[in-house]
């Protein structure tokens, strides 16, 4: 007889929205639910509550347009195969933009990517290695970084996104991008502590996702990551889900936390996002 955990995992992942989230992520929420509730037999309410928790925590990862981006990746591969690998091929940026447009956060940054990276690298210098936690499709923006040779370690919770990124990295390898994508739950600090070191670590719109009850998870994550890098770039949305500007876009509580643990920061603002470039 299957365990309650296995049964719940199967039931939750029957919903297409959650089917590609890594099993370990779903199992963590299942185990949390079972610890808090005496479950002898699975009910629809159990499934509903766990799915609701997954949606609250990971809604920014639950993207559509995956079939469209797969077609675009094939198109990118075909364009590159016809071009001279000693230079950036014509048409690549146009396809890159279309792929970025299939993800909400990446689409919001589309008009600002060049400015974002210019301003970040003015502070940090151009990196040789980037770590991107909760990356989504952000690694696809590599051409906007204008770096000829880059090691890029990308981490997310969605199996389909990870597979997609690894295909992208394979295609872009002749143009100086040496990338690898893996599953990682940013709330699992033991696993986070085992990732490689990097010149910059991106936490783009991630802190709000893990600070669901209080600010402690984000603080602990930053403390661990500062042992692995000189700079962390953390960002937050400055507009509501409905697209309206937030009344208080700066995160004063976050800034006070950084000061309390003796970290410095510089701020970069775009129309949709505020970036904190954090250092010792």
Bridge partners for 200 per DSSP: 130, 231
Check: CB of residue 130 under 8 Å from CB of residue 200. yes
Domain boundaries, the chain: 4-61, 110-279
CA distance 55 to 73: 27
DSSP helix/strand/coil, 276: strand
Tell me: the pLDDT tens digits for 79-129? 888 765 555 556 889 999 999 999 989 999 999 999 999 999 999 999 999
What pLDDT, on a 0 to 100 scale, did the predictor assign at position 1? 36
CB-count exposure of residue 8 (10 Å: 0-12, 13-18, 19+): buried
Residue 152 near residue 142 (C-beta atoms within 8 A): yes
| CA pair distance 255, 218, nearest whole angstrom | 12
Tell me the C-alpha distance between 90 and 146, whole Å.
Answer: 15
pLDDT for the residue numbered 89 = 57
> What is the spatial distance between Cα 226 and Cα 105, in angstroms, rounded to a whole number?
25
Strand order in the sheet with 129-133: 177-183, 150-156, 129-133, 200-204, 231-237, 273-279, 264-269
Q: Name the stretches of the chain with pLDDT < 50.
A: 1
CB 175 within 8 A of CB 85: yes
pLDDT at 152: 99
Q: Which is the CATH superfamily of the domain at 110-279? A: Vaccinia Virus protein VP39 (3.40.50.150)
pTM of the model: 0.86
């Amino acid at each position: 007889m299957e365990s309650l955990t296995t049964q719940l995992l199967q039931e939750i992942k029957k919903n297409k929205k959650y089917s590609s989230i890594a099993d370990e992520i779903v199992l963590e929420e299942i185990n949390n639910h079972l610890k808090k509730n005496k479950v002898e037999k699975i009910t629809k309410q159990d499934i509903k509550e766990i799915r609701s928790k997954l949606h609250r925590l990971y809604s920014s990862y639950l993207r559509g347009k995956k079939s469209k981006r797969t077609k675009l990746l094939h198109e990118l591969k075909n364009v590159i195969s016809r071009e001279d690998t000693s230079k950036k091929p014509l048409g690549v940026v146009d396809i890159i933009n279309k792929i970025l447009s299939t993800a909400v956060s990446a689409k919001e940054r589309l008009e600002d990517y060049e400015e974002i990276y210019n301003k970040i690298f003015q502070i940090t210098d151009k990196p040789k290695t980037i770590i991107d936690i909760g990356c989504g499709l952000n690694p696809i923006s590599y051409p906007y970084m204008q770096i000829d040779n880059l090691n890029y370690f990308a981490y997310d919770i969605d199996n389909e996104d990870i597979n997609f990124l690894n295909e992208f990295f394979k295609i872009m390898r002749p143009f100086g991008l040496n990338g690898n994508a893996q599953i990682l739950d940013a709330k699992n600090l033991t696993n986070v502590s085992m990732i490689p070191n990097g010149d910059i670590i991106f936490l783009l719109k991630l802190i709000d996702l893990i600070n669901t009850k209080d600010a402690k998870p984000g603080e602990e994550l930053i403390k661990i990551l500062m042992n692995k890098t000189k700079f962390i770039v953390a960002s937050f949305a400055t507009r509501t889900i409905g697209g309206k500007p937030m009344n208080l876009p700066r995160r004063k509580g976050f800034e006070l936390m950084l000061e309390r643990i003796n970290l410095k920061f510089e701020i970069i603002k775009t129309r949709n996002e505020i970036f904190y470039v954090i250092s010792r």
